[in-house]
């Protein structure tokens, strides 16, 4: 048998085998996909980018990100709930400030304690305490050494100082509250009283009392048992009026005199 010479270039190259097999496998996959249907298998959507937060913008904010709006005479600003900075408002030395706190934001611990100290039960009333905190006029009523707060005002001041213990007029505010608290005790004991007919020993106590200020048309009467007039006084104008109520007096009447206090 004759030997036919083999052309080396006609032999298949081994290094083509693997790529050809891969091409065949890919073609088979395409064919199978075409047979099973034309619908493409959905792929997972990429995650949505996280919404921008206060921290991403370099801003310090509290949960809920709401702030209290302060509007005073000559000043308008904001307080961060939970971290109020009253210094800008104090610098304005305003004597009246209106407060707006966003509704629906739970009270913080200090706000809750302040309300309890003030004897308030409505969460919305915390705005009044913020108002006292924001006001810092040395000539304001609460800072006056001559003013005694009513029981409600005294409680309001005490509650406000829970929110702003560093108030520049904290000493003056505290003194005003204390005078009011002392007056409340005296009134409860019948030692501070106003106009009308009052029974001695039951509604008021014997003693020496006075009213001061711009007094006009002050009229008072001391009566004994049976209604007999023991003493009477009338003044068109005066700056100070004094009366001594005796233990044997039955009643004391006054009008247009003001509020009687121990002399």
Chain segment 111-130, per-residue pLDDT in tens: 999 999 999 999 999 999 99
Helix (H) or strand (E) holding 78: strand 75-80
pLDDT in tens, 35-80: 444 444 445 555 554 444 433 333 344 454 579 999 999 899 999 9
Q: Could you please report the per-residue DSSP string of 139-208?
A: TSGGG-TT----HHHHHHHHHHHHH-TT-TTHHHHHHHHHHHHHHHHHHHTTSSB-SEEEEBTTTB-SEE
* Cβ pair 150, 182 in contact under 8 A: no
Rounded to a whole number of angstroms, the CA Rg of the chain reads: 43
* CA–CA distance, 79 with 134 (Å, rounded to integer): 10
Task: Note the pLDDT of residue 60.
Answer: 45
Greater pLDDT, 19 or 108: 108
Q: Give the integer Cα–Cα distance in Å for 18 and 14.
A: 8
| Predicted TM-score (pTM) of this structure | 0.67
Q: Look at residue 230 in the predicted model and tell me its pLDDT.
A: 98
Partners of 208 in beta bridges: 244
pLDDT attached to residue 55: 37
Residue ranges per domain, the chain?
65-187, 196-262
Diameter of the chain measured on Cα atoms: 168
pLDDT tens digits, 150-182 = 999 999 999 999 999 999 999 999 999 999 999
Residue 200 has pLDDT above 90, yes or no: yes
Q: Is the pLDDT of residue 189 over 80?
A: yes
DSSP state of 83: B
Supply the pLDDT for residue 13.
45
For the stretch 220-254, pLDDT in tens is 999 999 999 999 999 999 999 999 999 999 999 99
- pLDDT value at residue 56: 34
Mean pLDDT, residues 10-35: 41
Which is more confidently placed, 31 or 212?
Answer: 212
Average pLDDT value for the chain: 84
Q: What is the mean pLDDT of residues 179-194?
A: 97
pLDDT for the residue 235: 95
Q: 94 in helix, strand or coil?
A: coil
138 within 8 A of 178, measured Cβ to Cβ: no
């Amino acid at each position: 048998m004759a030997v036919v010479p083999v052309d080396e270039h006609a032999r298949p190259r081994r290094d083509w085998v693997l790529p050809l097999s891969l091409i065949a496998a890919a073609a088979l996959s395409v064919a199978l996909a075409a047979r099973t249907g034309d619908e493409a298998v959905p792929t997972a959507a990429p995650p949505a980018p996280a919404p921008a937060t206060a921290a991403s913008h370099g801003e310090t904010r509290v949960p809920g990100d709401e702030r209290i709006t302060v509007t005073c005479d000559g000043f308008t600003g904001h307080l961060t709930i939970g971290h109020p900075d009253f210094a800008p408002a104090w610098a304005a030395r305003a004597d009246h400030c209106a407060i707006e706190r966003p509704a629906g934001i739970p009270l913080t611990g200090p706000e809750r304690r302040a309300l309890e100290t003030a004897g308030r039960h409505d969460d919305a009333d915390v705005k009044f305490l913020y108002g006292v905190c924001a006001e810092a006029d040395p000539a304001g009523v609460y800072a006056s050494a001559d003013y005694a707060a009513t029981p409600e005002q005294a409680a309001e001041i005490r509650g406000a100082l829970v929110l702003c213990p560093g108030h520049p007029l904290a000493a003056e505010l505290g003194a005003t509250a204390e005078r009011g608290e002392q007056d409340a005790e005296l009134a409860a004991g019948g030692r501070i009283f106003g106009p009308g007919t009052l029974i001695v020993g039951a509604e008021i106590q014997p003693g020496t009392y006075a009213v001061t200020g711009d007094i006009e048309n002050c009229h008072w009467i001391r009566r004994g048992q049976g209604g007999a007039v023991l003493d009477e006084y009338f003044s068109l104008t005066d700056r100070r009026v004094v009366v001594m109520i005796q233990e044997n007096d039955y009643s004391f009447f006054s009008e247009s005199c003001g509020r009687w206090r121990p002399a």
